[in-house]
Chain A
Amino acid sequence: MGSFLKKDLLVFWRDRKEVLLALFLPIVIIVVLNLAFSGLFDNDAESVNMNVGIVDENEHSTELEQFKLRLQEMDILEVEKEALINQASAIKPSELIVEFFNDPKLKEWIPYEKVSEAEAIKLVEEGDLDAIIKIPEGFTYDVLSSLLLEEDSSTPISILAAEQSMELNTLQNVVNDFIDTLNLQFALGSTVGADLEEPVLPQGGREVVEGVETFNISQYFTIAMSTLFALFIAQTVAMKTVTEKRERVFNRILLTNSNPLEYLMGKTLATFFLSMIQMLVTFAVTQLFLDVFPGKSLAFWVGVIVIIAAFALTVSGLSALFTSITLILNDSNAASGIFTMIVMSFGVLGGSFFPLQGLPVVFQKIGEWIPNGLTQTVLIKWIQLTSVQDLIVPIIILIVFFMACLVIAVTIFPRRGRV
């Protein structure tokens, strides 16, 4: 079997096109995807950085007095009037907004200064400000009417900018979230009679759980691309059988009296080593140049190698199956088509093209049982510091998949005279 293994590895290595496709293409794609998507997915503070001017045209005390005057004129009980006046006096809408932007965390990525409208427009034109948040005249009166008398709001906060951008969208979302939170908390506060609490700061839509590391898009691309390209190796090695058949090398092998299963096992082992090498090279190069897994321990890397080895085993089982199918089918184009379809289906369902979370639950469940999907899930969990025990079951599943493929491949491997 060693001779077959050596031959298959040499044949693969001498095919420069295949080597480039298998070893360098995934790395190139990972780098390109990282460059293309880092701005979209990166949630660090540096990704949104806006200088904002707050123009406050609201006259709080005057508008509060106007609101009180209106209450006095209303045909309601004195007790109710008094309660509403007390509540209105406790609410300072424009101050709440300014306090909200004073929060140190928010100030890191949206620093602000209070300016007049004319000054703000000038600063925007000069490029010193990215956007203006305008609190209009009558805002206090309007908010109090809306919150206490349940009237429709007619004086909204406006956001002005020179041009539309992702940052501007983010700012709009931040302000909207704040207003929504304010409304909700006031509604809850008025129901239970509690004091108005400070609204919770939005966290950019990302849940942060103490003690658990999250994975980022670079890590996803590294895992997804390396598993996908490893699947292609199964196809590539199996399709070499077509050349061997066409050029009658396979017949020459049959005439040597060697056990045909040695031929099959040669392909299986060669695929195991090649996919292992391909994945390790991809992980090593992306780590070296992109620092995809920063500050990880030796134990983490050992775990990665174990998971990769288990996945390489399943890829080799798939290669054995593909090889047997190639020998059975007389039409090499049909064989190639079938393999491409299988690999691409695995790619889609296993989440190699986009994260499984984007798919319906049924597909997510299926994806978790497909070797590359399972491997991807396990590796992501491993990045998030799962325990070693959590690796055992997935690795057993991968080994079972390999065994099943190998048994089928051996069973359908053609007997003499059928090739």
Chain B
Amino acid sequence: MLETINLSKTFKEKKAVDEIDIYLDDGESVGLLGPNGAGKSTTISMISSLLKPTSGDVKLNGKSTIKDPSEIRKVLGVVPQEIALYEELSAYENLHFFGKIYKVKKGFLENRIQEVLDMVGLKDRQNELVKTFSGGMKRRVNIAAALLHHPKVLILDEPTVGIDPQSRNHILETVRKLNEDHGTTILYTSHYMEEVEQLCDRVYIMDHGKVVASGSKDELLSILSSEDTIQVQLSKSSDNLLEAIKAMKPVRRVDETSDGIRIISKKDSSILNNLVHAAEKEGIQITHFQLEVPSLEDVFLHLTGKSLRD
């Protein structure tokens, strides 16, 4: 098991990570969500031993990794947000170099390179220079380089940013296979909620350097169990009506959407009646009304006040 205990990092009196406790059980797939600047990358850097924490600890199977990071490095694969490859080298040359310095045994390295290239679907392009690859292909090599030494834990920091749908699907499928078929423990950060929903058993939500919520998808959704999300389409838009809805007692938040308004309200049976009356008063017709099941995106919005892609 990999865990952090009161892990903190301060840069020039600014707390980037503030006493967070997260854990990853063997074979688990865990999502780490948070808006930009929440402290996700700093957390990953500390877990992977690239950055020394200001305080707190990172433990691998109960043993601290701060003083001696060699053990965690043996079992950890990190896929950074950046394309951490030599653009002037081919995919094969990159993997050969990293395999060598990961000290993959000579007899096994060749097979392992072919295995990981096969896993990311680039076996037939292995001799081409990385700089000639598309963004998606580069990201796939980026993942392959982290898999060469058979890591037990794989940390992926937004591995699908800015790539085509085909590469994205390929990456998601690779991560899923690694977790389900090979038992690799996954820590996955992303801006795409659907990826985390699709891949992860549990989720941590970070904001301002702290973990603001954690648990399985259902546990997180239960945070919003006392609220309803209502999507309403109107015959025409009206500022007066918007103000009237905001003034209603159970309503917590009203957002304009491309095709109407979105209302987050405490569970209250009178809300529908009040809404119809307010619309009639303004001479506006409600053309569509839908009570939405809350999603993780709603939970995220509820907890951080920001959309995940802000």
Q: Which A residues fall within an 8 A CB radius of B?
A: 3-4, 6-7, 10-11, 14-15, 247-249, 251-258, 262, 416-417
Contacts and interface: CB of A to CB of B under 8 A. Distances in A.
A88 to B, nearest CB: 86
A257 B70 contact: yes
B73 A3 contact: no
Interface string B159-186: 0000000000000000000000000000
**In the A-B complex, the 10 residue pairs with the closest CB atoms:** A14-B88, A417-B52, A3-B100, A248-B84, A258-B101, A248-B82, A252-B84, A256-B101, A257-B73, A256-B102
Nearest to B100: A3
A11 B98 CA distance: 14
Contact of B89 (A14, A247, A251, A253): A14
Interface string B52-82: 1000000000000000011001101010101
B103 interface: yes
A366 to B, nearest CB: 39
Contact of A417 (B50, B83, B145, B149): B50
Provide the main secondary structure of the chain A interface: helix
A253 B102 CA distance: 9
B196 to A, nearest CB: 23
Given A255-B76, A257-B73, A417-B50, A249 B100 contact: no
Given A252-B145, A417-B52, A7 B86 contact: yes
A7 B97 CA distance: 7
Given A253-B101, A257-B103, A7 B82 contact: no
B251 interface: no
A255 B76 CA distance: 8
B65 to A, nearest CB: 12
Given A248-B82, A416-B49, A256 B98 contact: yes
Nearest to A10: B89
A416 to B, nearest CB: 7
Contacts of B49: 255, 416
A252 B80 contact: yes
Contact of B48 (A10, A249, A253, A255): A255
Contacts of A251: 50, 80, 84
A262 B85 CA distance: 18
B197 interface: no
Nearest to B88: A14
18 contacts: A7-B89, A7-B93, A7-B97, A11-B89, A14-B88, A249-B85, A251-B80, A251-B84, A252-B80, A252-B84, A255-B49, A255-B50, A255-B73, A257-B102, A258-B101, A416-B49, A416-B69, A417-B52
B51 interface: yes
B129 interface: yes
B74 A255 contact: no
B102 A15 contact: no
A356 B89 CA distance: 42
B287 to A, nearest CB: 51
Nearest to B87: A247
A262 B82 CA distance: 24
A10 B93 CA distance: 9
A3 B94 CA distance: 11
Contacts of B97: 3, 6-7
Contacts of B73: 255-257
Contacts of B76: 255
Nearest to B104: A256
Nearest to A4: B101
Contact of A416 (B52, B88, B103, B145): B52
A3 B101 contact: yes
Contacts of A255: 48-50, 73, 76, 78
Contact of A249 (B50, B69, B86, B146): B86
Nearest to B131: A14
A14 B130 CA distance: 12
Contacts of B80: 248, 251-252
Contacts of A3: 97, 100-101
Contacts of B145: 252
Interface string B121-145: 0000000010000000000000001
A316 B88 CA distance: 22
A252 B143 CA distance: 12
Contacts of A7: 86, 89, 93, 97
A255 B129 CA distance: 23
A417 B51 CA distance: 5
Nearest to B70: A257
Nearest to B96: A3
A104 B212 CA distance: 102
B10 to A, nearest CB: 14
Given A256-B73, A416-B50, 19 more contacts: A3-B100, A7-B86, A7-B97, A10-B89, A14-B88, A14-B89, A247-B84, A252-B146, A255-B50, A255-B76, A256-B98, A256-B101, A256-B103, A257-B73, A257-B74, A258-B102, A262-B101, A416-B49, A416-B52
A257 B151 CA distance: 13
A9 to B, nearest CB: 11
A417 B66 CA distance: 11
A61 B146 CA distance: 105
A62 B11 CA distance: 104
A31 B80 CA distance: 48
B16 to A, nearest CB: 14
A344 B87 CA distance: 30
A255 B146 CA distance: 10
A252 B78 contact: yes
Contact of A247 (B52, B74, B83): B83
Nearest to A251: B50
Contact of A254 (B50, B74, B85): B50
A258 B85 CA distance: 17
Contact of A11 (B69, B86, B101, B146): B86
Contacts of B129: 14
